[in-house]
Structure 1
């Protein structure tokens, strides 16, 4: 009788000897690269752990206040802060029945358009100036930062003192020069106060806008201008066909941020006139603050209207300006 191992059994033993042993605890699988580990649940989350703090911050700082604002506008809240129950849309009806609202809305639109337009035009000129080389350029750039570094409310109060009818330096200078016969109350009525409010708002908006446009100008390659000069383009043609199109992304960013900031601006008007006299210089943001003294829910209703107006205004602007094309 032959004692030799059957062929199939021998083949199985050979394959078993060649097959790598199952990795035990602490042993690496032979088919897995050195240093790799099994895909854990943490890796399956992808980028979520990294963006989670930002998402939580947005929820806490933006979403939750908006939800509370909408909820408050639908409640009855007395001056002591006690919640007296649901009010439905009564506060919105009361808000739109306020006789001051039409004039406030008109002034808000004029204020926003005037401040943003003047800021963009002056900032564009200043950015072009600071993009050139001239003696003292560094000092003038530093000087432009001053209105930005200082508190906006402090700047507004400083201008209010300067325009004061009794102790204001402006009246003293104009009287000494013989330009006026008597001291003027520059912030005492809306006709005199509104131009000064616009001027101060432009003054505090210039630094950010100028530096944004200056950053955009400095990204334009010098080779583009050299090619334009080689093709015989004039300075005006170069500016209109090269500089402005390449500056468009920075221009749109500055414009959108200015629209939001100016529409929601509070310190300039409150620091100089407190919305007076008789709410004649109040924007919707200032009126919202004035309403909180005797009806918190109505103030919240105006906050909701302001929030919706900003969203619609920005969306319409981005749609009209074709901002997606500017990113290409």
Structure 2
């Protein structure tokens, strides 16, 4: 028996297939283990493919087609739609306005939500009622909220204008002088206010969840060490709140950048596209040139992906801590 074993081991090339077989077995096992979760992930992957990947592919295909004003596809158009979009004289102002819109809404939302989260984290009479009341702007339809505010800003009989006339701010009532949504600057202020109003509830609850997860022992140790409220907040609360804050900011960045109902309902991007963000401008461009609208939608998608990746890169330590 020993001779057979020695002969097989001494034979030229006899050991190579055996070693190869030994090496291949663990590889097959690792591959099988990697595929084991696939049946559980398949529904989610199929949904992502159907809801995200397929529309993105169709959007890219549309951006390279020559589609006339009647909606007929005249064939491949190459990159001419993208060239036309970048040559559009309105693009620079639209993208600048979009950046200002996103920064203003997200910054104000986070600051206000931080204050509300700190308030709701305290014990006071009626705290549950106040917390429930905060859900109302979030639970209501964004379009419905925008329509109500637009009615309130009606230059002739809007509630806001009636009130401002009664306190003497608006002197010439019923003459259209207080057309807030007719002035691009004033309209942007009001649209930012509505966007913050509907964004604060979710952000507040996200930050409140982060606050409630902070151990009370940490605060007790800080008090023993003699740390004041300001020192405790900046040295303990804010660092431990960063994971929740990072997630809240990231979700708000994507939602606000892609926001459509507020601007569309209140101004439709007017007058003369002076209140349009890139999303609203893309929709208005669709009525003129579907291919260019598709190209701008691809650009918007790329901007969103870039914002997410940059933000995640800058805050990867916070996410690991969370």
What is the TM-score when the length of structure 2 is the normalising length?
A: 0.87
Q: State the shift of 1:182 in Å.
A: 2.0
Cα distance in 1, alignment partners of residues 89 and 151 from structure 2: 31
Larger-Rg structure: 1
Cα gap change, 1:78/1:245 in structure 2, threshold over 3 Å: closer, same or farther?
same
Q: What is the rounded CA distance, in whole Å, between the counterparts of 1:173 and 1:212 in structure 2?
A: 35
Structure that is richer in helix per residue? 2
Q: CA deviation at 1:185?
A: 0.3
Residue of structure 1 aligned with 2:265, choices 235, 253, 271:
271
Partner of 2:140: 150
Q: Give per-residue Cα distances to partners, 1:70-115, cap 9 Å, x unaligned.
A: 1110001123322100101111111112121111111101000000
CA distance in 2, matches of 1:211, 1:155: 20
| Structure 1 pair 43–229 and aligned structure 2 pair: CA distance change class (3 A) | closer
2:194/2:262 contact within 8 Å kept: yes
Q: Secondary structure at the match of 2:248?
A: helix
CA RMSD, 1 decimal: 1.5
Aligned counterparts of 2:209 and 2:89: Cα–Cα separation in 1: 45
Gaps of 5+ in 2: 1-28
Q: Which residue of 2 aligns with 1:115?
A: 105
The equivalent position to 1:71 in structure 2, one of 57, 61, 64, is 61
- Runs of 4+ in structure 1 off by over 4 angstroms are 42-45
Shift of 1:47: 1.1
Task: State the partner residue of 1:168.
Answer: 158
* Stretch of structure 1 that moved more, 92-101 or 219-228: 92-101
Contact 2:243 2:318 in 1 (8 A): no
Work out whether 1:197 is the aligned partner of 2:187: no
Kindly indicate whether the alpha-carbon contact (under 8 Å) linking 2:85 and 2:296 is maintained by their aligned counterparts in 1. Answer: yes
Change (3 A) 1:240 1:98: same
